[in-house]
Structure 1
Amino acid sequence: MSETPSVVVIGAAAIDEWYAVSNLPEPDGGAFASEVTSAFGGVGANVSVALDRLDRDVTLITRVGDDEYGRRAREYLAETGVDASHLRVGNDPSTRSVVLSAPDGERAIVTTGESLRELRLTPADREAIAAADVVFLPGYTPDAVSRDVLDLIESLRSGDREKEAVDGDPPALVFDLSGPVEELLGRGTEPETVHGLLHAADLFVAGDVAAAAYFGGPAAAVDRIAAAQRTRGAEGEGWPRAVLTHGADGMTVVADGNARRFDAFEVDVVDATGAGDAFVAGLIDQWVAPLGNDAERASSGRLADGVRFSGALAAINCTERFAQRGLPSREAVERFLAARE
């Protein structure tokens, strides 16, 4: 590529404690772990590393604890091309996750640790965001940070560039709802802030579970987003392009008031951990980072190409264990797609 835009990612860099279980337990049920190991994860780190593998210039804003988990997370990041100069170390326990991975690749995740909850933006963080081409944040971002990002972008869009001491266009905003509302309360982005982000975002992504918790169900999410796009489009304001993901059942893209369903690629799934993060990274790469307001990329044909690329990125990642081990290069994604034409 002739130009590599800057992407700022906000989110966790964590250690995943990975359990290969016989089954995902039902309530009051159990499971047996035939293997226990650990790997690098966290939504922020997953999206950052995926973009780095695609040769994107990416900066991660995150916070880890001054403990063994935090040390290992910093070591993993140092082995990537991700700019970790905005990483802070605090006295809280590092954010980390227990991942239960079943033989069919499906998983359940439990997260603990206070380090990310205490993240707050510094003046240097704000400068990096204001100067970026794209900023991405998941629903797990602390509400104070999400509100700060929202206020900053709205200030930049209102023409207050001199106040922020930056030149050029405001960054495009990508928001991934990530989790159900009840899971985010007290640790992530609050519903009122989510509402503001949905209206400010250039791209909004949500899985079925998160969409059901916020909108009342996947179908309701499609109807509400499409109706808002049609209304706001008529007023000349526009509304974010949205993607609702359905795991192995594919995804629904809502753009310009219309919904379109796409199938997922069929692969031998080893581990689905991080598939959603890989998919989001692909959408950022294809739809937002290169030319966010380019008419060609807004076309229906380009929309489909972007979904296929992102779906391929996620599918390839599912063929390896852990959230990041299978993240492919751009060339690997293109080979995957060429073999399926």
Structure 2
Amino acid sequence: MTPEATADTRTPRVVVIGDALIDELRGPSGTREFVGGAALNVAVGLSLLGEDVTLLAMVGDDEPGRRIRQYLADHRVRLVASPSPSGTSRAVSDRTAGGEPRYEFNDAARARRISFGEESRAALDAADLVVVSCFPFDDADQAAELRAAVARPHERLVIDANPRDGMMHDRAGFLAGFERLASHALLVKVGDEDAALLLEAPLDEFVGRLRSGADTTASGPAVLATAGSDGARVHHGAIEVRAGIVDLPGPVVDTMGAGDATLSAVVHRIAVDGMPQSDAAWSAALADAMAIAAATVRREGALLRRPSAGPAFTS
């Protein structure tokens, strides 16, 4: 967003593009199901933080799809659904001792596609920000359609790589498609697991690749890098700020929604205040994001939570 947009008193409009699915969690106490998907989690998180949100995602015409539609309606997120001949996407997951998820995906999830029809393009044209997460970047046609559908990406496009080993068909193709679009974005999010999966390399190397073509003295794509228990950092031009995880009461239960909550909080700050342009502004944005992520991981599932104690979230 441009600084002028912050003077607009209307609620910021955000379109989120990516996955929506049923997360089937298996554990010692049995099986539980949650409505989820990285893009859906971000869309719902942004709505909870006050944005006017539309989600573009593939949803089946079946009972799980109806559950997803109702969940989005309950959280005031509009859905522009792409048809899914194979039904609704599903991820079967368990958790490691540290709460980290491990996934297996069904045929619908592996064949996900977004339809950029008239309704989708109208929503994109009206959006202040466009957020992409868990998109099939290894599908060259889909990547090209996405690039054609989002005007002014340097001003309003936010991308989370969010690759999933069980969803990708071509790792090199995914990396190429992601990096191609990321070079035109306002903000790019990557994590240590993304670097390991896509590059088999440390997170610093991935961040370096994304920043290699940017002039560090001028405005360019900002990189939000997350590293689990090591916290997060932002690189934006000559700015580099870091934030550790926030220690809140209670144990970490489920880290599934940590990255999505972090991204939602940062996008919320950009939507309301414009893109941070100083160390202090980025530090404040990142501190808020870490507090929200810490609250989120203390509940099962990926629904964004605000901290009841610790740093206050400013909007």
Q: What's the TM-score once normalised by structure 1's chain length?
A: 0.79
CA offset at residue 218 of structure 1?
1.2
Aligned partner (choices 263, 276, 290) of residue 280 of structure 1: 263
Tell me, in whole angstroms, the C-alpha distance in 1 between the residues paired with 2:20 and 2:134. Answer: 15
Could you say what secondary structure the match of 1:7 adopts?
Answer: strand
1:320-339 equivalent positions in 2, closer than 5 A: 320-324=299-303, 327-328=304-305, 332-333=306-307, 336-338=310-312
Partner of 2:274: 292
1:143-202 Cα distance to aligned partner (Å, 9 max, x none): 33432222233xx34xxxxxxxxxxx9860000011267853359973332122111110
Range moving further from structure 2, 37-46 or 258-267? 258-267
In structure 2, C-alpha distance between the alignment counterparts of 1:181 and 1:99, rounded to whole Å: 13
**2:18·2:57 contact (CA, 8 Å) conserved in 1?**
yes
2:154/2:186 contact within 8 Å kept: no
Q: What amino acid is the match of 2:283?
A: A
Deviations along 1:85-122, one digit per CA (max 9) or x if unpaired, are: x1244331311111212343222122223266132211
1:80 and 2:75 aligned: yes
Please say if residues 180 and 214 of structure 1, whose CA atoms lie closer than 8 Å, have aligned partners that are also in contact. Answer: no
| Residue equivalent to 1:150 | 147
Q: Does 1:176 align with 2:150?
A: no
Change (3 A) 1:183 1:96: closer
Would the alpha carbon gap of residues 72 and 187 (structure 1) be closer, same or farther in structure 2, given more than 3 Å must change?
Answer: farther
Give the counterpart letter for 1:273 in structure 2: M
Aligned to 2:63: 68
SS of the equivalent of 2:114 reads: coil
In the alignment, the residues of structure 1 paired with residue 302 and residue 107 of structure 2 have an alpha-carbon distance, to the nearest angstrom, of: 19
Q: How many residues align?
A: 300
Judge conservation of contact 2:15–2:129 (CA < 8 Å) in 1: yes
Residue 162 of structure 1: aligned partner: none
Say if 1:233 and 1:253 are closer, same or farther in 2 by CA, change over 3 A.
closer
Match of 1:107 among 78, 101, 116: 101
Asked if the contact 2:179/2:210 (under 8 Å) is kept, the reply is no
Correspondence for 1:219: 204
For the residue of structure 2 that corresponds to 1:40, the secondary structure is strand
Q: Which has the larger radius of gyration?
A: 1
Q: CA contact under 8 A between 2:18 and 2:132: conserved in structure 1?
A: yes
2:48 alignment counterpart: 53
Question: Match of 1:310?
Answer: 289
Summarize deviations over 1:287-321 as a string: whole Å, max 9, x none: x312435xxx2111010011011111111111111
Q: Which amino acid aligns with 2:187?
A: L
Gaps of 5+ in 2: 1-7
For the residue of structure 1 that corresponds to 2:242, the secondary structure is strand
For the pair 1:96 / 2:70, whether they are aligned, the reply is no
Please give the residue correspondences for 1:231-310 in structure 2 after superposition, counting only pairs within 5 Å.
232-233=215-216, 238-267=219-248, 268-286=251-269, 288-293=270-275, 297-310=276-289
1:26 corresponds to = none
Work out the percentage of aligned pairs sharing the same amino acid.
Answer: 29
* SS of the residue 1:151 aligns to: helix
Does structure 1 residue 16 correspond to structure 2 residue 16?
no
Q: How much does 1:264 deviate?
A: 1.1
Q: 1:228 — aligned with what?
A: 213
State whether residues 133 and 162 of structure 2, in contact with CA within 8 Å, keep that contact through their aligned partners in structure 1. yes
Offset, 1:42: 0.7
What SS does structure 2 have at the residue aligned with 1:65? coil
- 2:108 aligned partner, one-letter code: E
Q: Is the Cα–Cα contact under 8 Å of residues 228 and 239 in structure 1 kept in the other structure?
A: no
Distance 1:304 1:118 in 2: 36
Structure 1 residues without counterparts, runs of 5 or longer: 21-32, 158-168
CA spacing shift, 1:223–1:186, aligned 2, 3 Å: closer
Amino acid at match of 2:293: A
User: Aligned-pair distance for 1:74?
Assistant: 1.7
